[in-house]
Amino acid sequence: MLRIGLIGTGTVGGGVIAIIEQKKAEYREKLGIDLELACICAKTDEEVAPYKAKGYTVSTDADAMIANPDIDVLVELAGGYNMPRKWILAALNAGKHVVTANKALLAKHGHEIFPLAASKGLHVLFEAAVGGGIPIIRSLQEGLVGSTVESLSCIINGTCNYILSRMAQEGLDFDTVLKDAQRLGFAEADPTFDIEGIDSAHKTALLASLCSGHRVDFEKIHVTGISKITAQDIAIAKELGCTIKLLGIYNRDGDRVDARVHPCFVPQNHLLSSVNRVLNAVYLNCDNLGETLQTGAGAGRMPTASAVVADLVSLARSIDTGKRAALPMGWFNVENSATLVPISETSARYYFRITSRDERGVLAKITGILAENSISIETIIQKDVNDPGNVSIVVITEKVQDCRASKAIDAINALPEIVENSQVIRFLA
């Protein structure tokens, strides 16, 4: 029997309870395991009252629940940083396993949590932290060990993918779709965490860590969100046979790690281009396996709860047989931090959308600056804008190092004819 202490009865926590109630008998019959919700904990009496009425042991004191020797595993679904860190470290020090969906906590404090768990031979399982119901963590830890992941590109935030998909499908602007996403519950009242790429950075750092075997510090990776993407960018991408997606990217670069988050032009024949709305996807290129794509619901009550329960089932089978040691994650420590490739050293084809006054000689100045920075031009397109006297000049470059692209665009933006900062988007390599 696996005796579970669960903190958090919100969207995901309620889903976990519902799945265990629904499938408990099936797990006992078909898998020979017994999941027992030994204690359900939340902040207030009101939150736990429905479960108390159903006969569950409930608590509003997480510390007391963790100290209870009858609890085998802590399931942390409260979210946030400080209190979950305290609870998880306390649980590990008390000899209890941990299951969590808290990607932000693991990205920030995993260098404390994973080594402690390893020193005590305890499991820390976090399938639900990345990709919701997509079993990408278990795939990287177990299913793909016969191959080395050379590169990874992922659509890992449902809010951003929903916004970009609707902008592309309906020709809407960013603010309109964001407000609708908030109304429908696909975006938070304060969407900054999602639309500025922070959530994607947490998840990308964890995936890059698992791919490389080194701790990737999410605070050091390059992050650009989608708040500056316009309907015009989306329309031009379509003309070029592409879609715009916010991607988390990992590339193996010798002894270094290239990890970053930013919007990309994705060709319509690429597997990621057709992943729309709130779906997530992880595209991998492995040495022995080749290309593979995992896709599914990346967030939401039941997909995320399903991943949490899958971790609990895996843990119960490990404990019951007594034969399966915890997966080694002690390497996720500060001393084993990855050496990151600076964004300035990465290379890509670039899309520049430059808005200038419609005056003679501007195009010559722009192409001159690009030539000075040894940037070859693949395509130049002039577009009218809904602003008399101004024009958009779209430049598609050949592959160029970021430092040269940045230097050129800074010089272009400094021209007196330029009326706003230019848009810069990379193409997926």
Three-state secondary-structure class, residue 71: coil
Whole-number Å distance between alpha carbons of 191 and 182: 8
CA dihedral angle for residue 38, residue 44, residue 49, residue 54, rounded to 10 degrees: -10
Three-state secondary-structure class, residue 147: coil
Task: Determine whether 383 is an active site residue.
Answer: no
209 CB-contact burial (10 Å; exposed 0-12 / middle 13-18 / buried 19+): buried
**CA quadruple 321, 322, 327, 332: dihedral sign:** positive
CA dihedral angle for residue 205, residue 208, residue 213, residue 218, rounded to 10 degrees: -20
The amino acid sitting at 386 is: N
In Å, what is the CA distance from 66 to each residue of 37, 96, 326, 345? 13, 8, 20, 47
Q: Which of 203, 220, 228, 365 is catalytic?
A: 203
Residue 61: CB atoms within 10 A of its CB come to 10
Structure tokens at 290: 């080749």
Q: Which residues pair with 98 in a beta bridge?
A: 74, 124
Q: Cα-flanking dihedrals φ and ψ of residue 40, to 5°?
A: -115, 125
Q: Cα-flanking dihedrals φ and ψ of residue 377, to 5°?
A: -100, 130
Q: Which residues are catalytic?
A: 203
